[in-house]
Amino acid sequence: MKIYIIYRGPFGEQIINNLALKGFSDKIDMMYELKPEMIESEHPSEIDIWTKIWQTPEEYIPNDLPIKKCDLLLVLGIHSKLGDLIPPIADKLGARAVLYPIGDQDMAPEAKKSIQNDLREKGVHIEFPEPFCALDKSENEIIDQFANSFGRPIFKTRLDKKRQVIKEIKVVRESPGGSASCVGAKLVNFHYDDREAFIKKIYEEHHNEEADNYCLAEMSPFHPLMQEAADLLKDAIFEACQLRTTKQAILEKISEFGEVETKKLEEIIVDGPGNWKNPEKMCDANRTFYLYIKELIEDKKIIEIDGKLKLA
């Protein structure tokens, strides 16, 4: 698999470094940093350039963009106004698939739907994982191949069950930014029997700005991508430690109620940021809850009718 990376800023740089260090250095065929000022400098006399980019993006591809064929075009952290350039760039590169992760609202392309439609008309598959570590599997074989190594974290552990201590933790699938291995290393010899302390440790290490690979996703009550990323990481660690995960808790609660309103179950499972003293609380972001509900419905484990959930 040949990967061409269009990137900008720390978000892109951290992911590129992590991919290269974790086994993908031979797959990264080309990198190009795309900045808004580059477009402006090449078209100094243009008025209302950003509207024109939307209308005829193929005319605003940077002149110095190296043209090299690739299988996967990976778009990391570029300005939202430059998203319109991706379909014509993908066409020039002969990309067969595009991965366009969104780490915060500044990265979300303004014309996401038209980008998707333009690429699909040319037979190019595109996905917008949000956050990037929510990527789990894909119907597209190229993206699925990428997701075998990077995406939603997967761990294996060796436990001292008598002392309830993690003796060894191995990353089977790394998060794209490297937070999985970074947090995992901090959990060796950590006791997992104190649920509240264990969860706090995971989240603190995940959000730790002093760490080499801390999460760069947006942390906001309105767009809680960092919180969702931490939820996904926590559940992956819990599963590896044979502890109750959020999905298991959701299924148990639905079974207990027989039928329950989705909003009521959300209040139980999410229950406010950081309130880990409540044993029913399982995640910090409502985005995580609704992601799991969607996946459980797709797996035919639950059904939702008129805003109510029950076991399938």
What are 16-71's pLDDT values in tens digits? 999 999 999 999 999 999 999 999 899 988 888 888 888 899 999 999 999 999 99
Task: Give the integer Cα–Cα distance in Å for 151 and 129.
Answer: 9
Q: In what order do the strands lie in the sheet with 260-261?
A: 260-261, 308-311, 302-305
Q: Comparing 84-98, 168-182, 270-284, which segment has the lowest mean pLDDT?
A: 270-284
Q: How far apart are CA 106 and CA 225, in angstroms?
A: 13
Cβ count near 11 (within 10 Å): 22
Q: Is the pTM of this model over 0.75?
A: yes
**Interior CA angle at 36 toward 132 and 62, to 5°?**
100
- The chain-wide mean pLDDT, for the chain, equals 95
CA 211, CA 177: separation in Å to the nearest integer?
12
Angle (deg, nearest 10), helices 225-240 and 195-207: 130
- Which domains, ranges and CATH numbers included, belong to the chain? 3-147 (3.40.50), 152-243 (no CATH), 244-312 (1.10.10.10)
Q: Is the pLDDT of residue 273 over 80?
A: no
CA distances for 9 relative to 16, 28, 57, 106, angstroms: 11, 18, 22, 12
> Nearest 5°: CA angle at 126, between 28 and 24?
20
Alpha-carbon distances of 199 from 137, 165, 234, 245, rounded to whole Å? 26, 14, 7, 12
Beta carbons within 10 angstroms of residue 274's beta carbon: 12
User: Does residue 301 have a pLDDT over 90?
Assistant: yes
